[in-house]
Amino acid sequence: MSRQFVFFDLGQTLIDEWDFINYLDTRFVELLNGYGAKIDQRNYRAVRDSVIRDRKIGHGSARELVIEVCRLLSPSGYDKVIAERLKPEMEKGRKDFFRFSDEAVDTLTVLEKSHYEMGLIANQGHDVLDLLEKSGLNRFFKVRAISSLVKLRKPDPRIFEFALREAGRRAEDCIMVGDRLDTDICPAKTLGMTTIRTTNSLFWLQEPERECEVATYTISRLSEIPSILEKTT
């Protein structure tokens, strides 16, 4: 019996974004106050977290988050102005701070040695393709269903179906690992995949709203994945 095929999300799953998030929070608050918001980091983060918890952003890009927070904290009409001001700094921050976590590398290595095939299903830009190449982690992934390559975005089921075809596997023989209930867990589970939710992410704030959002397994560390997979084989 062949082992299950394991698909991973990238942002806040395999990629450690915490330094980027702290950098963006600092610059964003500075800009908000420059436009008259008068808010400190603690209160800003409370608003940011409520936006995430209440699912007021779509695919979850940093730009979407910035625009929604601006609508709550800045004068009307400044949302896109501030987002454009932040755009070059967000691009710089992604380049400077995005990195694969040590735990991600260790976990992928363990799975490879245990003869699991792996792939990616992720909403990411071309800069992450460069990160994959430079890190040498491309070698782990047989399938790369990345939105900037395939022109589909989660939660569209077609990006999952594309990944399954590329892997040559049925959904029932695959596992999806991701941090978001709405864009990772629900669409994967609806297709019949086993799901693993990671909670080392801003999106730990999400609570299941539908049965499809209840993950098969929930973990706080990627290092828990190999033992879970051994139980499901």
* pLDDT one-digit tens code per residue, 81-117: 999 999 999 999 999 999 999 999 999 999 999 999 9
Please provide the average confidence, as pLDDT, over all residues in the chain. 93
Instruction: Give the contacts of 182 (CB within 8 A, at least 6 positions apart).
Output: 55, 155, 206, 213
Residue 143: both structure tokens together:
């399938």
**Residue 231's pLDDT band (cuts 50, 70, 90):** confident
Residue pair 161/191 in contact (Cβ under 8 Å)? The answer is yes
Q: Which residues pair with 143 in a beta bridge?
A: 119
pTM for the whole structure = 0.94
**Residue 78's pLDDT band (cuts 50, 70, 90):** confident
Q: Given 3-state DSSP classes, what are the helix, strand and coil percentages for the chain, each rounded to the nearest 5?
A: 60, 15, 30
What's the confidence (pLDDT) of residue 152?
96
Q: What is the DSSP letter of 181?
A: I
Q: Which CATH number fits domain 5-16+99-232: 3.40.50.300, 1.10.150.120, 3.10.580.10, 3.40.50.1000?
A: 3.40.50.1000
User: Does 144 have pLDDT greater than 90?
Assistant: yes
